[in-house]
Structures are given as C-alpha cells and as structure tokens.
Amino acid sequence: MDVEGVRQNDLIGYGIVVGLNGTGDTVRNSPYTEDTLTYMLERLGVNVQGEDIKPNNAAAVLVTATLPSFARNGSTIDVSVSSIGDAKSLEGGTLILTPLKGADNEVYAVSQGSIIVSGLDVQAQAARETRGTPTTGAIPNGARVEREISYDFNRRESLVLALRDPDFTTAARIEDAINGAYGAQVAFMRDPGTVDLDLRGIQGSPSRILADIENLPVSVSVPARIVIDEKSGTIVLGEDVTISKVAIAQGNISIKVVESPVVSQPNPFASGESITLPRSSITIGQTGSKNIAMLEPNVTLSELISGLNALGVTPQETADIIRTMKAAGALHADLIIR
C-alpha cells in the first residue's frame, strides 16, 4: 500500500570512470570520452589542448539512482553505473564526481566512488569467456543528497491510500479495519485500488496516524494467478488455482538424422576420380511412456503439479500445457506470461 503524494524520484547523470586496466573506451569508437576528459582536466587547471589523449583506462558512463521519499541533505543513496561506449569492463574503476539530475534538470545529488562489478570478462588469444555483465556496476551509498524535495506532509487533512494490487475485497477490508480501529467512519473505499482517509476527526499528526494504520492486521485477498517466465523457464502457481475436468495428451516426437558419407576411390594408377557417396540414416521415435492423463474437476495446486509430474514433462512443456488449458477454458486463474 502506498500513500498518494509520497513517491520516489529518478535521477540520472553522465560521468567518467577512470582507473580501468586497459578495458576502457577507444578514441575511434567513443570520441566523446576524450572530449569529456579534456574538459574535466582543463577545469582542474591542466592544459591538454593539442595533446593526443588515448583514454583506454577511462570509460563514459550513465549513472542512475532513485531519490527516496523524505530524503534529507547529507543522506546517501545507492547508484548504478552503466557504460555507454565500447568499454570491455568497468572492473577496478572509480567514478569521478558526477552530478545527478531529476526530470526538472536540477541537481539533487552528486556521486563518486569505487565501482563494484559482478560480471567477469576473461580473454585469451583464442578464447573469451564472459560471465554476467562486466560493463555495469554499482556503488553502495555512492551518492550524497544535496537538494531536498520540499513536502509538508503533516499539514495534510486527508490521505489517499493506493493499493499496489487493486482488489475489491482487500480495499473493503482496509476500510473496515481503519473504521473499526478509530470507531468512526473516517475511511471511505473509492474504488478497488483507492481508499480515502479523512484526518480531521482523528487526533494526532498525519505521520503518527499513518504509522498506526500500517500496523493494522488486514487479510489480503490474493487472486488465483499463474506466472510464467519464458526466459528462465520459471513457473509460479498460486494456491487458489483450480481446473475443471480435462484430459491432457503430451508427447514428443524425436527425429534423428545422421549423415555418414562414404568416399569411393579408384584403384591405384587407374583413371577416374574420387566420389563422395551420401549415406543418410533417419530415426523417428516418441519419448515418454505416459502421454495421456485425466484430471478430475476442482483439482488443487498440489494435485495439478502431481498430474503434470506424472506426465514427465519439462518446465517448457508444462508452460505449453498451462497455456493450452487456459485457452480451452479449463484453467481458473489469471495467466501472466513474461
């Protein structure tokens, strides 16, 4: 649950990472890196006009951060650093003082510090191995807030509570819980995602009232939902997922083609040419021994999983079965595919 008007703000900045071990930007593909270094050195009193700078130990980056609600001057926030040039890795680099601006183009924080990179890039003469993304990194507490966003929260006479997952049942329970705690009609359900709160009839500051409301026990109504992440092959099923009576057929046909060419050569000192004769072998088979299963009506989550496991299907095949069951109208749940 969130409070209307209390929000985070995104920050962004352009900066330079130095101290790389020859894994930075190249001048030909990233000329702006050289221009930025020249401008920065001139501001520090170093004249580099006409010099040939090859910044292979520096990289141009974009720095992003999120300014929390009620952030005060001097507090620190985490930042993310991402290369925008052709740098191979940011490992071992240090971000030089970078201002971070909001959507209004005002500077709200400045960032500087050593970058932590979780990715790995190892290269040899004939091989290269990469793990993760070495061109991105993070600086914990790497930015210091320099400007506050003015917001007098305690002068408000009403609050709007916004549900992160709109639901009629949950919103009604929140209204009942608040009104029951204060013994008056101070909360009003506007829609499944919004509950209005009138503070004029409640003693205490808005901050204290909101702190008390946050601790009220409310049973959240969770809709039946299935989430499928096709990239990772992850399937998450809610406990209220049920299906109607349905028959599931699942089978895999495997086709194996093997090419074994044979070379026919003439006898020694005989006239003729070597000829390659094709030899192909094709094998067709079907995997799996239990390809048809019957699931009875109102099957629960555990029974559904047991039925799918009985078919011996893989996670990808399970996702296909779930999508087909939803299309057939036998699956009673919201299907979310990412």
pLDDT digits (tens, 9 = 90+) for 88-138: 888 889 999 999 999 899 999 999 999 998 765 555 554 555 666 888 999
What local confidence, expressed as pLDDT, does residue 272 receive?
63
What average pLDDT does the segment 20-25 reach? 86
Nearest to 13 by CA among 116, 158, 164, 139: 139
What local confidence, expressed as pLDDT, does residue 98 receive?
92
Token pair recorded at residue 88: 């191979």
Cβ-contact 182, 195 below 8 angstroms: no
Nearest to 18 by CA among 71, 57, 70: 57
Q: How many CB atoms lie within 10 A of CB 205?
A: 14
What average pLDDT does the segment 266-271 reach? 64
pLDDT digits (tens, 9 = 90+) for 25-73: 887 777 888 788 888 888 888 877 766 676 788 889 999 999 988 888 8
What local confidence, expressed as pLDDT, does residue 308 receive?
66
What is the pTM for the complete model shown? 0.61
Q: At what angle do helices 168-182 and 206-214 cross, to 10 degrees?
A: 120
pLDDT digits (tens, 9 = 90+) for 211-260: 888 888 888 777 777 888 777 777 777 767 777 776 666 665 444 445 56
Strands 136-145 and 120-123: unpaired
Cβ-contact 248, 290 below 8 angstroms: no
